[in-house]
Every structure is written in C-alpha cells, then in structure tokens.
Amino acid sequence: MKTRDRILETTLRLFNEEGTAKVPTNRIAVELEMSPGNLYYHFRKKEQLVERLLRRLEDQAEPLLAPSNTQLVAVDDLWLFLHLAFEKMFEYRFLYRDVDYVMSEYPRLTPRLRRLTSRGIETIERLCGQMAAAGTLRANSSEIEVLALQMMLAATCWFTFARMLPENVDTGPGRAAYQVLSLLTPFLADDGRQYVNYLRRKYIA
C-alpha cells in the first residue's frame, strides 16, 4: 500500500473510533510509527486529511448516486441500494457523527457535505418514483418527498442515534437499512410487505 493510502486508512479508523475533534495529526503519526515531518510531507494540515477522506467518499458514492439505465422497481433492489449506501456511510461515519465539528472547523467542506445529502435525497426520490411508476409502491409525489427526507435523515443520523439506544440493541448497517426500509411498508403491495417481513426476521431477533 502506498504511504498516502496507509495514512488515510489509519486516519479514517482513528476519526471513526475516537472522534475527529480528539485526533490531532501527531496522534496519527504515532499510530503509523511515522515522524510528524514525514506525515507533514504528505498532508500539511488535518483539514487536508478530512478533505481527502470526503473526496474518497464522494468518489465511492458516485456509482450509487448516478442515475443508471437499469430501472430499479422491486423492493429488493431498493433494499440492496440502501444496504450498500449504509455500509459506505458507516465506513465514513465520522463525517456524519462529527458533522458539527467538521462544518465549523472546515467551512469550505460544508457545501460538499450538503451536496452529498441533497443527492442522496434526490436518488431515493428517483428510486421511489420508479417503483411508484411500476406500481410496486403506492405513494404520490408529496408522500415520496417526505419519505425520502426521512430516509436520508435516518441514514445520516443512525450512528448518532444508536449511541442513545440501549446497548443490547443491534445498531449495525443491516439493522439501519431495515429500519429505513420499514418506512416504505405501508406503501407497498402485498408481496413487497412480505419481503420486508422476511428481512425483519433476519435483523430483529
């Protein structure tokens, strides 16, 4: 692995585990058994590390967010999309959990984080719209608007909310995706509901 990638991997892990505010660059250098000067050679400021990690997330989210030629019309397509999106957000969860710190320390990144959120909402609206057009989802456009905002809220804030739940509750990405998918249940036709119930048995013990 290249040094830059090794630095980013370790930074990502420390930000996720210990919190963005609490990890200075010196701590990252120590963890990597690297001199502060060597780290400085690759990344001059903590902001550059955060920025580069955000760019990675943007790049990796792109295939999920880009409109594809494939029409997703079944519940399990949407389920797969949500599961993949949650896994990606979980991987970069420091950006969501520490959003207040990131936005106030690095205001230049704020528009990019907002754009990622807006595109997520648009993508969910598009997928739900396709399902509605195919008759898989029985919801009008104003219902889809509320749903998409709510799903994005749950997606971005799940890992913050999870901290407030009792410790014995499963709060992993699969459970999160199930919770979000459940929002669709009342709008689904019978076979869709059955599929959500099948998923339910997998995630809720």
Which residues bind to a copy of itself, rule: CB under 8 A?
19, 21, 97-101, 103-104, 113-114, 117-118, 139, 142-143, 146, 149-150, 152-154, 156-158, 160-161, 163-166, 179, 182-183, 185-187, 200
Structure tokens at 142: 């104003």
The 3-state DSSP class for residue 152 equals helix
Side chain identity at residue 31, one-letter code: E
Angle (deg, nearest 10), helices 173-182 and 75-91: 140
Residue 169: CB minimum distance to a copy of itself, A: 9
In degrees rounded to 5, what are phi and psi of residue 188? -90, 150
Contact (CB, 8 A) for 1 and 9:
yes
Residue 163: CB minimum distance to a copy of itself, A: 6
Q: Which residue has the tokens 């595109």?
A: 119
Residue 127: CB minimum distance to a copy of itself, A: 18
CB proximity list for 178: less than 8 A, separation 6 or greater? 199, 200, 202, 203, 204
Residue 154: CB minimum distance to a copy of itself, A: 6
Contact (CB, 8 A) for 96 and 152:
no
Q: Name which of 11 and 179 has its Cβ closer to a copy of itself.
A: 179
Q: Name which of 77 and 122 has its Cβ closer to a copy of itself.
A: 122
Q: Name which of 123 and 156 has its Cβ closer to a copy of itself.
A: 156
Range 82-110 burial, b when 16+ CB lie within 10 A, else e: bbbbbebbbbbbbbbbbbeebbeebeebe
Residue 170: CB minimum distance to a copy of itself, A: 12
Residue 73: CB minimum distance to a copy of itself, A: 20
Q: Name which of 61 and 152 has its Cβ closer to a copy of itself.
A: 152
Q: Name which of 71 and 160 has its Cβ closer to a copy of itself.
A: 160
Q: Name which of 7 and 50 has its Cβ closer to a copy of itself.
A: 50
